Chain A
Amino acid sequence: MKGYNFAYLDEQTKRMIRRGLLKAVAIPGHQVPFGSREMPLPYGWGTGGIQVTASILGASDTLKVIDQGADDTTNAVSIRRFFAKTAGVATTTVTSQATVIQTRHRIPEKTLRDDQIIVYQVPQPEPLFRLEPSRIETKRMHGLADYGLMHVKLYEDIARFGQISISYDYPVMVNDRYLMSPSPIPSFDNPKMDMMPALQLFGAGREKRIYAIPPWTKVRSLDFDDHPFRAINAPHPCGLCGATDSYLDEVVTDDKGGRLFVCSDTDHCAERRAAGHVGADGLQKAAE
């Protein structure tokens, strides 16, 4: 784009961010402060992910952007357009064709490969912030691996509700050392982070932190022996493609209690339907 560098950020800034990324990869799960820039998109709308993507994007990359698992949600559209305009890179909605995937709130259903990078948009990188708002304090706690506070919180959940009540942004332990926020993905997606072949990068623009999980790294969702981690999902198959192993959105179809459960990962669902899989509602549609 005229007047702007490739992928918007100047090369000095990209270099600064890449240095942060290298440090983050070297210390899995550790939050690295970085000189987050003011972006032409609002804070809280993906400025961290955008800066990370801008720093790693090359001219031959193919970019996929999803929000809530879908490629056509407005903010995903907006970010994809931003890079199509400022970097001129190829974009795709097909998970397997992307070399870089920027995401908000989901991990694609299809297992990612070791030649792909997934960039998460992170609103709040500090997993302890609800328990301890001061960053001076939480920094000390991470330094000492003092995560008793979080275990007490999980224990209190069990005492109060009979189970752990966290359903998204479910805290994980990375490489047996750092407690980390997986970003607000549903806990359903947490197991995908463990030993993932792809590099996982996390950018928090407003909070000015970067962190990373290198490929093939152990990521464990916190739990107790007698209360093991349980992923949460709607107990239905997808109404359109019949998938029983994908995360589902609930769509309100009328004002009489009508509900339809469909794959949140729109590319996954489309691919399955193209391959001939049909769900209950898809059958009805075909019959009409």
Chain B
Amino acid sequence: MAYVAVKGGEQAIDNAHAWLHEERRGDPAVPEIAVSQIAEQLGRAVDRAMAEGSLYDQELAALAVKQAQGDLIEAIFLLRAYRTTLPRFASSSPIETASMRVERRVSAIFKDLPGGQVLGPTYDYTHRLLDFALLGETTPQTPAVDAADLPAMPRVPDILADEGLLEPDVADDRDPVDLTREPLRFPAPRDARLQALARGDEGFLLGLGYSTQRGYGGSHPFAGEIRMGEVAVEIVPPELGFAIDIGDLVVSECQMVNQFKGSKTVPPQFTRGYGLVFGFNERKAMSMALVDRAMRAQELGEDVTAPAQNVEFVLYHSDNIEATGFVEHLKLPHYVDFQSELQNVRRMRAANEAETAEAAE
């Protein structure tokens, strides 16, 4: 049979998408999952999609999780692609995590402190036993503590900083970098690094943070404080000249207190690593704080030897949408380049054989 050139890319794409649609819905005898159910009952998945999608909207994130069949990187991609089309009305003032309505706050460096240790809705200390009761419907439980009753909680690092034991956190007046609008440039200032980490892949940061604990760029971290809760977002419209509250965010914040640095002129003091993530995700916040501190190696006069300390390496590889696109693009056709490689190898082998034959004569 004679060869007929492959056609039908358009039809194939349409068919594939129809198939995907059917597969997403699953067995029609099973009720369809509602976006509100995802937002309410798969909150950690929604939080991760919002954090790495850089878009704080539970309903949209839940929709993305549904549309992506629970594939969170795909959900993040959907959110990012939507976010990029949105107009910008204003930049908010920095959020104030010291006045957070705290739901969880733990410090590993003091036994007790003002405001106390508050475990909050954590998986810590649960025994990881499958709860077969969840196979059926469960009855709601009411926690003994209401978050609204919790006292004000000063931030632990501020307590240390008041005594001069922790390096000061200096703000500057510069407009922060926005990596979604401008390309990454080096040397990357800390705001650009923190933004990249906040948007970065949780698994990548977890692995890098872990590597610092195993000797690849260690910084002797202590979890100074981890807090999670609601903070107010304020903007200052130029026509008003004062701050107005436009809504609330749930964020997780981690401040790592790391080994000290000092000099002849500056007495020894602890250094900081900082992590801040949308939603409830302290694994990511802690990893981020470790990697932030590791990337400060050069600034703090430490040797840059480990992957987590290499700012270029970390920032160019932390974004899972960039990474997944480029890794997965390998499935696109590459036959033109492969063909030139084939001809190249055949040509080199022929030259080799000719040489061998000549030598044998």
Contact = CB atoms under 8 A, between A and B. Distances in A.
Contacts of B348: 161-163, 165
Chain A CB count within 10 A is highest, among B181, B183, B341, for: B183
A192 to B, nearest CB: 14
A251 interface: yes
A234 B322 contact: no
Interface string B293-322: 000000000000000000010001000011
- Interface size on B, as a range, is 35 or more
13 contacts: A4-B85, A45-B325, A47-B325, A75-B333, A136-B312, A168-B340, A185-B336, A186-B336, A186-B337, A232-B347, A239-B3, A247-B336, A284-B2
Contact of A206 (B322, B342, B344): B322
Interface in B174-214: 180-187
Contacts of A73: 9, 333
Interface string A65-84: 00111001111111001000
Nearest to A36: B183
Nearest to A282: B2
Given A43-B321, A74-B9, A136-B312, A234 B339 contact: yes
B7 interface: yes
A248 interface: yes
Given A38-B80, A135-B316, 12 more contacts: A36-B183, A37-B84, A42-B77, A42-B328, A43-B324, A104-B332, A161-B348, A168-B340, A232-B347, A240-B5, A260-B3, A285-B3
A233 interface: yes
Interface of A: 4, 10, 33-40, 42-45, 47, 67-69, 72-78, 81, 104-106, 123, 134-136, 161-163, 165, 167-169, 184-188, 206, 208-209, 232-234, 239-240, 247-251, 253, 260, 262, 264, 266, 269, 281-282, 284-285, 288
Q: Is the interface of A mostly helix, strand, loop or mixed?
A: loop
A72 B3 contact: no
Contacts of A262: 3, 5
Contact of A69 (B2, B84, B325, B336): B336
Nearest to A5: B85
The 10 tightest CB contacts between A and B, nearest first, are A43-B325, A44-B329, A285-B2, A42-B325, A44-B326, A208-B183, A167-B340, A186-B340, A167-B344, A168-B337
B81 interface: yes
Given A168-B337, A249-B339, A253-B3, A40 B329 contact: no
A282 B342 CA distance: 24
Chain B CB count within 10 A is highest, among A10, A42, A185, A266, for: A42
Nearest to B74: A42
A186 B84 CA distance: 34
Contacts of A40: 81
Nearest to A69: B336
B351 interface: yes
Interface of B: 1-3, 5-10, 12-13, 77, 80-81, 83-85, 180-187, 312, 316, 321-322, 324-329, 332-337, 339-344, 347-348, 351
A72 B10 contact: yes
Contacts of B13: 74, 77-78
Contacts of B181: 35
Contacts of A284: 2
Contacts, number: 151
A221 to B, nearest CB: 13
B336 A249 contact: yes
A190 B61 CA distance: 45
A105 B336 contact: yes
A81 B14 CA distance: 12
B337 A167 contact: yes
Nearest to A186: B340
A38 B180 CA distance: 8
B6 A72 contact: yes
A251 B338 CA distance: 12
Given A36-B183, A43-B325, A136-B312, A168 B77 contact: no
A77 B10 contact: yes
A206 B321 CA distance: 9
B336 A68 contact: yes
Contact of A38 (B3, B9, B83, B326): B83
Chain B CB count within 10 A is highest, among A39, A72, A78, A123, for: A72
A259 to B, nearest CB: 10
B295 to A, nearest CB: 14
B6 A167 contact: no
A77 B324 CA distance: 21
A165 B337 contact: no
Contacts of A72: 6-10
A163 B321 CA distance: 38
Contacts of B7: 72
A184 B340 CA distance: 11
Given A38-B81, A43-B322, A250-B342, A281 B336 contact: no
Contacts of A187: 340
B333 A67 contact: yes
Contact of A281 (B3, B312, B342): B3
Contacts of B324: 42-43
